[in-house]
Structure 1
């Protein structure tokens, strides 16, 4: 073969190889690859023995390690990160970098936030959405049907499920029966009762408290969501925040009143100061179901003795719907770019529905069978006063549906405006205009149209 002919063949072969490589990368990154009819999305080339990389926060590391121990045939790399806590955006930021490079995506990600599907289910700059649709053949429908009703609604985009709820976090009213008996008080049933109890407590037993407003998740999810305050709503691509609604105004007034009389404090419930100063002074406190393990029974936190703490039905406005808020409830996402989807499937089913998932759960599992087992174990432990299971089950079925799930968290605006405002001696009402503006600005940065 002549030299010129050889050069022509070499150039042609090289171009062909480059084109094949480009097609492979495009298929892997979702930029036009062929959709797998079995799963409903374009899959990467599958390698059955390839390791899967799983991102978890510190609290989920034990269940990931349990999977590793119980499934020695599955290669797994466990990496810890902040879990996207507090709406940090770390999950989205890291995925965006992998989208740019066309490689490096983890196979499974746990996030503490319920709003990540709003971005993770969308194609970005021609790159296939990170989150794989889970109900188009990838996961068995029988498995998906096992979730508590509505558990995966926040991760459902355009009718498809893009994430699996790890746990539910409905807000109940936690109470200390020992202190209620000592002071002669009844468990409050309404927000009005709660405020009235605050006035009595401030007058008769100063120093004892009914909760905290020092955490962004408490201020937003526990109080405003639980009050049916429409400060965080989404309709299509239009975001709205109404602080003038009667529910919003009433909750702002109540919180300012109780901060003023000292029955609501500004310490984070996770701070050393809160534990040191208030562990034996909490008469009642609205909070999520996961407070059970994270605070009350935690030897490194409040560590309250058995028989004192109970969970009561959620607070509601007198004469209005008996609804409540919800504080998170983590979510597992499967990467559409994974090269070992069978291992991903095995992992997801294990962390959601296995016996270890029940055993290691610190809060109410989202999977119905696991939830029932967990509640039975909690109720029979002898730790809680009253009918713990009934209260939590009622709360789980009473979460107000008016809250929105855009691609950003309400916690960031609360942390940026309300927390420092309170620390400076301002009331929540004083900072509402700036808080409102901050929320709308964040919505606009995320590409939403905004309405007052």
Structure 2
């Protein structure tokens, strides 16, 4: 496998002239559509079953390419690493727009860490053929599509069509250090109100320890989404409801403001060196996605939490309500409608989302494919690393609130520009929710949405 790097950091986006020079040589550069409607419901390029397929992945998904090559040694693959559109960089959309204008250069398969890309990749832009191949017209077998968890393909579904495959679920739950809780004499909170009270108590009794982080661009997907804040409710292909000043939004903003002021909720990114230096061994609680287990806790380069300490609890409800939760990424795989080797591109996408050789044996996150998820959970639990069973993750997978949608623009980018500076400056979120709503509405209108 030859891997051509665009960048390896999740957080730094460096696309320049060198990238343009490299990507101009990608397979599929002559994959211009023939103009005729193909068997899968879109115009197909001239097909060549022996053509190399070019696959874009982020650094975390590079092992998926290697696993595919080992299982399919006769298929030629060229892997190119890029940032995966992390943190709303929009690199996937930007690069495909360049190839649309050039009429060549599209990769065959693309991984994106974002869940909103189907909203633009499935649509014509300036009359150009959509990048994403429709998958539910026979390109991917119906039996495979039906094997994904309920709701897993929602980010991939646009006006009844399926345009991508979900890599993993990134449902949020409550991670905690069982040993620290016992040492301090605390219990796992069962509501958001108890969570706030414990955070305030920790700030007084054990300063320097934390109960979470709001320092990343995906913070609203952990906290505001779990409070049923209707900041991002996509109600149609080009319609969205934005209400950031509701009581549901205000209660979570108030919780965040209180604990940030107490310093039991940090504003450092969990991926920053300062976070690791300051909070290794001092994370008491951490609301966050399923992939936090491997990315943060069981990671020698991060918190490196010892075996037998990490537990996980179900998503927290507000007192008197049913619990709902958010979702942080999870990632999606797209097949290019311009591919000259749709057969092998489809085989690759199906393999990396469903095959045990990757999803069970190597993938760091909770698989979106049901049979793989069951095996993945069993493998994780049998490792002996966790202090509790992982049934809370299965429970959380069925509690993702549907009132937070997947528009064509990045909510993470809006939050980063509007709210993160307020958090780092110590200014209250509760007093600036209207500014957040205005920023979302403005971005939505730029992208052609009717805003309610």
Give TM-score scaled by structure 2 length: 0.91
Q: Distance in 2 between matches of 1:311 and 1:407?
A: 32
- Residues in 2 aligned to 1:88 and 1:228: alpha-carbon distance in whole angstroms: 26
- Conserved in 2, the CA contact under 8 Å of 1:118 and 1:405? yes
Any residues of structure 2 matched to 1:249-398 within 5 Å, and which? 249-357=250-358, 358-388=360-390, 390-398=391-399
Distance change in 2, residues 1:28/1:35 (3 Å): farther
Aligned equivalent of 1:165: 166
| Contact kept? 2:55, 2:107, Cα under 8 Å | yes
Q: Is the 8 Å Cα contact of residues 244 and 436 (structure 2) preserved in structure 1? A: no
Equivalent residue number for residue 442 of structure 2: 441
CA RMSD of aligned residues (A): 1.5
Matched pairs, number: 422
Q: Which residue among 29, 36, 39 is the counterpart of 2:38?
A: 36
Per the alignment, residue 227 of structure 2 pairs with 227
Q: How does 1:135-214 map to 2 (within 5 A)?
A: 135-214=136-215
When structure 1 is superposed on structure 2, of 219-228 and 420-429 the one drifting more is 420-429
The answer for unaligned runs of 5 or more in structure 2 is: 1-27
Moved more, 409-418 or 90-99: 409-418
Cα distance in 2 for residues equivalent to 1:276 and 1:201: 19
Counterpart in 1 of 2:123? 122
Residue range with higher mean Cα deviation, 334-343 or 234-243: 234-243
The CA distance in 2 between the partners of 1:125 and 1:333, in whole Å, is 21
Give 1:20-169 correspondences, 5 Å limit: 29-30=32-33, 33-37=35-39, 39-169=40-170
Give the whole-Å Cα distance in 2 for the aligned partners of 1:253 and 1:408: 27
In 1, Cα distance between equivalents of 2:151 and 2:435: 34
SS of the residue 1:273 aligns to: helix
* CA–CA separation in structure 2 for the residues paired with 1:431 and 1:412: 17
Structure 1 stretches (4+) deviating beyond 6 angstroms? none
CA distance in 2, matches of 1:391, 1:443: 34
Q: Distance in 1 between matches of 2:116 and 2:306?
A: 36
C-alpha distance in 1 between matches for 2:278 and 2:147:
42
1:279: how far off?
A: 1.4
Q: Does 1:403 align with 2:404?
A: yes
Gap regions ≥5 residues in structure 1: 1-24
- Bigger fraction of residues in helix: 1
Tell me which structure has the larger Cα radius of gyration. 1
Deviation at 1:71, TM superposition (A): 1.8
Of stretches 169-178 and 313-322 in structure 1, the one that deviates more from structure 2 is 313-322
Q: CA deviation at 1:113?
A: 0.4
TM-superposed CA distance for 1:28, in Å, is 5.9
Q: TM-score of the superposition, structure 1-length normalised?
A: 0.91
* CA-to-aligned-CA distance 1:153-175 (integer Å, 9 cap, x gap): 11101111100000000001001
